[in-house]
C-alpha cells in the first residue's frame, strides 16, 4: 500500500518559536483578500507571502506573486529565518481547538508520501478539481520549488496503531508550541529515532490514504512529477487516524441568494421527488442541523423551517440535494447563486438580515460512510466534506530540491 517517509523539513528558526503563530496562515483556497491583508500586517514573516501572495497591476513575467514567493523563500533560507533539518524526521502535530462548545485535540504525522496515480488505488480522492486552482499551484511549485502547505489525509487505522502511537509520543514535552490568532493552539514533536521511524513506515504500508483536504495540491504534484521532474515523486502530507476523536467531519451548509421565484419554485418541487417534507420549529431545526446524527436536511427561509428526510433507496442527502440542484440550475447559476458555509450561526444571521433567501442546513457525513464511498471509487458532490479545522500552512515546508 502506501510508502511514507521522514524528510528534511524546513521550519522557522527556533529563535523565533515564540512568534511562530504569527507566521502561519490557512490553506490558499480559503484566504479572502481581507484576510490576506490582515496576514500581511500580522508579521513580515507570515507565509501568506509564500503560499498566496498579493497580485499587483504592475506584475509581469519576471516580477509576479510566484517569483516574489521564490525570491523571498530563498532569502529566508539564506538569512536563516527558515532552517532545514539536518536529518530526515517525522513531525507530530497536535492541534487543540474548540468547536460547538467542546474542547478537542487532533494529532497527525507530517511526512513525505510517495505519489500514486488514482488508478493505483493507494491514494484515494473524493472530489473533482478545478483547472484554474491547479494551474495556480503548479506555477508556484514550479517557481519556488517547494510545498508550503501540507495535504490533509486520513487512514482507517483499524487497529488504532497510529493513534495509540501518537497519544504516547505526545505525552512528553513538545519541541515547539504556539497559538494561531483566532484559530487554535498547536504543539510539534520531532521523531528521529530509527526504531520509531521504522515502526511508522511499516504501519503505513498496510494502509490506503484518503485525501481529506488538498485534492488540487495532490493532482498538481502528480502533474509536476510528470512534466517537470520525474524524481520529484513525494508530497508532504499530514496523516490522521480515523480513530482520532479530534478528527471532525462537519456539515457543509448551502445558502442561496439572487434566484428568481420561478427557479426557487422549480427547485422546491424537484426536491419533493427525493425528500419527505415535514414542518419543524426553528429552534428544533437549528438543533437538528448541528447535532443530529440523522441523515436529513433542514430547509429554512424567512417564513418557515422544513425537515427534509430521504425517501427510500437513496444513499445520501448530499447526493439527492446535488441532483435536484443540477437538474434545475445551470453550472453558471450554481456558481453565481450558491455559497457554501460551515458556520450555521453566521448563516442564520445572514438569513435574518435578508442577505440570503434560502438555506439548507446539512448534517455531516459519517466517517464510515465517507470511507465506504471513497473506497468504492465514489466521487462525492462538491463541498460534501469539511474536515475541521483546516491545517495551518507554514509549520513545516517541503523543499523539492531535497526529495
DSSP 8-45: --EEE-GGGGGGGGGG-B--GGG--HHHHHHHHHH-TT
Q: Which CATH number fits domain 252-363: 3.50.50.60, 3.30.300.30, 3.20.20.70, 3.30.1760.10?
A: 3.30.1760.10
Q: Is the pTM of this model over 0.75?
A: yes
From 31-40, 150-159, 267-276, 282-291, the region with the lowest mean pLDDT = 282-291
Per-residue pLDDT, 58: 97
Per-residue pLDDT, 30: 86
**Nearest CA to 23 among 388, 389, 393?**
393
- Residue 294: pLDDT above 80? no
Per-residue pLDDT, 85: 97
Q: For the domain bounded by 4-244+388-402, which CATH number is listed?
A: 3.90.1530.10
Interval 110-130 mean pLDDT: 96
Interval 262-273 mean pLDDT: 95
The confidence band for 182, taking pLDDT boundaries of 50, 70 and 90, is: low
- Residue 111: pLDDT above 90? yes
Which tens digit of pLDDT belongs to each residue from 325-376?
Answer: 999 999 999 989 999 888 888 888 898 899 999 999 988 888 998 999 999 9
Per-residue pLDDT, 219: 97
Say how many C-beta atoms besides its own lie within 10 A of residue 293's C-beta. Answer: 9
Task: For Cα atoms 63, 69, 72, give the angle at the middle one, nearest 5 degrees.
Answer: 100
- Residue 263: pLDDT above 80? yes
Higher pLDDT, 3 or 296: 3
**C-alpha distance from residue 211 to each of 135, 154, 232, 308, 386 (Å):** 19, 7, 19, 29, 12
Domain boundaries defined on the chain: 4-244+388-402, 252-363
Higher pLDDT, 91 or 181: 91
Give the chain's mean pLDDT. 92
Which tens digit of pLDDT belongs to each residue from 54-82?
Answer: 999 999 999 999 999 999 999 999 999 99
Interval 145-171 mean pLDDT: 98
Per-residue pLDDT, 211: 98
Amino acid at each position: 500500500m502506501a510508502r511514507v517517509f521522514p524528510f528534511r523539513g524546513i521550519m522557522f528558526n527556533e529563535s523565533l518559536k515564540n512568534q511562530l503563530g504569527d507566521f502561519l496562515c490557512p490553506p490558499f483556497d480559503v484566504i479572502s483578500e481581507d484576510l490576506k491583508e490582515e496576514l500581511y500586517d500580522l508579521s513580515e514573516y507570515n507565509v501568506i507571502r509564500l503560499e498566496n501572495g498579493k497580485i499587483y497591476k504592475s506584475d509581469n513575467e519576471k516580477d509576479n506573486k510566484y517569483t516574489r514567493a521564490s525570491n523571498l523563500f530563498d532569502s529566508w533560507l539564506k538569512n536563516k529565518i527558515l532552517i532545514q533539518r539536518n536529518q530526515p524526521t517525522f513531525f507530530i502535530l497536535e492541534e487543540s481547538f474548540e468547536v460547538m462548545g467542546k474542547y478537542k485535540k487532533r494529532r497527525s504525522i507530517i511526512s513525505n508520501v510517495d505519489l500514486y496515480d488514482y488508478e493505483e488505488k493507494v491514494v484515494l480522492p473524493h472530489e473533482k478539481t478545478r483547472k484554474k486552482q491547479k494551474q495556480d499551484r503548479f506555477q508556484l511549485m514550479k517557481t519556488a520549488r517547494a510545498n508550503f502547505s501540507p495535504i490533509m489525509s486520513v487512514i482507517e487505522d483499524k487497529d488504532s496503531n497510529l493513534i495509540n502511537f501518537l497519544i504516547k509520543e505526545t505525552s512528553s514535552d513538545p519541541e515547539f508550541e504556539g497559538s494561531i490568532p483566532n484559530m487554535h493552539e498547536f504543539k510539534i514533536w520531532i521523531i528521529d529515532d530509527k526504531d520509531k521511524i521504522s515502526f511508522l513506515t511499516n504501519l503505513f504500508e498496510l494502509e490506503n490514504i484518503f485525501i481529506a483536504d488538498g485534492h488540487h495540491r495532490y493532482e498538481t504534484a502528480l502533474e509536476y512529477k510528470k512534466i517537470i521532474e520525474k524524481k520529484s515523486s513525494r508530497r508532504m502530507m499530514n496523516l490522521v487516524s480515523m480513530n482520532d476523536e479530534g478528527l471532525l467531519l462537519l456539515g457543509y451548509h448551502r445558502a442561496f441568494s439572487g434566484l428568481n421565484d420561478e427557479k426557487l419554485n422549480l427547485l422546491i418541487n424537484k426536491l419533493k421527488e427525493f425528500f419527505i417534507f415535514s414542518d419543524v420549529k426553528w429552534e428544533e431545526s437549528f438543533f437538528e442541523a448541528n447535532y443530529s446524527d440523522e441523515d436529513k436536511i433542514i430547509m429554512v427561509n424567512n417564513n418557515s423551517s422544513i425537515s427534509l428526510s430521504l425517501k427510500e433507496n437513496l444513499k445520501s442527502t448530499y447526493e439527492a440535494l446535488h441532483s435536484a440542484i443540477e437538474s434545475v440550475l445551470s453550472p453558471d447559476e450554481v456558481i453565481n447563486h450558491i455559497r457554501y458555509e460551515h458556520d450555521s450561526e453566521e448563516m442564520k444571521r445572514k438569513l435574518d438580515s435578508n442577505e440570503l433567501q434560502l438555506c439548507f442546513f446539512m448534517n455531516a457525513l459519517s466517517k464510515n460512510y465517507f470511507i465506504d464511498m471513497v473506497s468504492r471509487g465514489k466521487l462525492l458532490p462538491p463541498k460534501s466534506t469539511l474536515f475541521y479545522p483546516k491545517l495551518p500552512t507554514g509549520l513545516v515546508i517541503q523543499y523539492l530540491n531535497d526529495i
